Amino acid sequence: MGSGNGFFSTSEFSLEAKWLIDPKLLFVGPKIGEGAHAKVYEGKYKNKIVAIKIVNKGETPEEIAKREGRFAREVAMLSKVQHKNLVKFIGACKEPIMVIVTELLTGGTLRKYLLSTRPNGLDRRVAIGFALDIARAMECLHSHGIIHRDLKPENLLLTADHKSVKLADFGLAREESLTEMMTAETGTYRWMAPELYSTVTLRHGEKKHYNHKVDAYSYSIVLWELIQNKLPFEGMSNLQAAYAAAFKNLRPSADDLPEDLALIVTSCWNEDPNARPNFTQIIQMLLRYLSHNTPGPTAIPPRVLNTQNAVFSPDSPGTSTLIKERDESEETPKTPMENSPRGLFSCFYRCW
C-alpha cells in the first residue's frame, strides 16, 4: 500500500506530487481540537499559517485499515476539487503519520454565527448570500460526482470577515459511482435525508441505496435555518427529528417563509428524491429571488472572532468537522494549551 514518496498509491487511490506535504517543513503549534480519531493543530507550512489534522492510526488491524481508507478517501476528495467556497486543501502525507493540511479559517462555524445573532434574524440578503455560497460549493462537488453526505451548519465555516461561507469536512464524502457500496454510516440525523433510514433501527454497516439528492435534502434544512435562524425540529432530539422526517414525513414549518423561498425549501426536502432540484437549479432560484426582492431587516452584528476563539473538532458525532468556535464566556478557564504563545511552533518531523 505504501510508496516511495510515503503516500498511498493503489489502483483506487493516488495523490499527485504537488499535494505531497514535506514533513520537514511542517511546524505544529497549539492543539485546537481533539476527537476520538484525530487531533487538529494550528501550524505552519512554508511560513503559512494552516490547520493540521493528524489522524490516529488505530490499534487493531481492522481499525488501521478503516482509518487509512477513510483518510485516503478524504484526501482524494480534497485534492480532486477546488472552489472558492470549499476549504482550501494544501496537502497531505502518510508518513511518519497520516496528516491533512488545509487553510485555517478563523470566522467560526455557521452554527456559532447563527447562535450569536439569536433571537434576531439574519439580514435576508446575508442569509441568501450564504445560501448561494453553500449551493455553489455543492454544485462543484456534484459536478465531480461527489456526494458530501454531511451538510450541516457545523461543517460550514466563515471567513474572518464573516462575508463568505466555505464547506468543510470530506470525511464522509463518497463518489456517486460507489453508492451501491455505501453504508448507513452517514451524516448527522437532524439534517439527514429520509431515504437514509430503514423501517428498523439501522445496523452498523447496513447497505443503503441513494444518490446525490440526499445533499439537496440536507441543504433544505440548512436553508430553512438560515432564513428562520431557529434550530430545525426544535424540541426534538436528533433521532426524534430523523424518525419524524422519515416515517411521518414531518418537516419544519414553511408557513412563515416568503413564497419564493418556501418553494425552494419545500422542493429540496421533497419526500421523492427525484423530485428535488439539483444545485444549478437551486442557484438559479436563489438569484431570481434576490433580483425581485428588497433586503429584510438588518440583524444585530455578531461578535467578531479571531484565531484565539477558533477550536477545531475533528470528530463530532457522525463527522470529522474541521472547526468550531469556543464559547467566549470569561468564566471559562483557559487551559495551558490555550495560553500558549501563538507564535510558538514545534518541528513536526522531530515530534513524530
Residues forming beta bridges with residue 9, ordered by sequence position: 14
Whether 150 is catalytic = yes
| φ, ψ of residue 65 in degrees (nearest 5) | -65, -40
Least Cα distance to 226 among 343, 98, 111 occurs for 111
351: amino acid identity, one letter: C
E-assigned strands of the chain?
Answer: 26-34, 38-45, 48-55, 89-93, 98-103, 146-147, 156-158, 165-167, 174-175, 310-311, 324-325, 346-347
E-assigned strands of 59-213?
Answer: 89-93, 98-103, 146-147, 156-158, 165-167, 174-175
| φ, ψ of residue 56 in degrees (nearest 5) | -65, 140
53 appears as a binding residue in the annotation: yes
| φ, ψ of residue 27 in degrees (nearest 5) | -120, 135
- C-alpha span between 50 and 90 (Å, rounded): 8
Q: Which residue in the block uniquely carries the three cell numbers 461561507?
A: 165
To which H or E segment does residue 244 belong? helix 238-247
Angle at 159 between CA 168 and CA 322, to 5 degrees: 30
Q: Name the CA dihedral angle for 181, 185, 190, 194, rounded to a multiple of 10 degrees.
A: 30
Three-state DSSP state, 44: strand
Q: Residue 48, Cβ neighbours under 10 Å: how many? A: 11
14: amino acid identity, one letter: S
Give yes or no for a contact between 21 and 99, defined as CB atoms under 8 angstroms apart: yes
Three-state DSSP state, 2: coil
State the catalytic residue, choosing from 22, 123, 133, 150: 150
- C-alpha span between 243 and 241 (Å, rounded): 5
The residues carrying an active-site annotation are 150
Q: Residues forming the annotated binding site for ATP?
A: 53
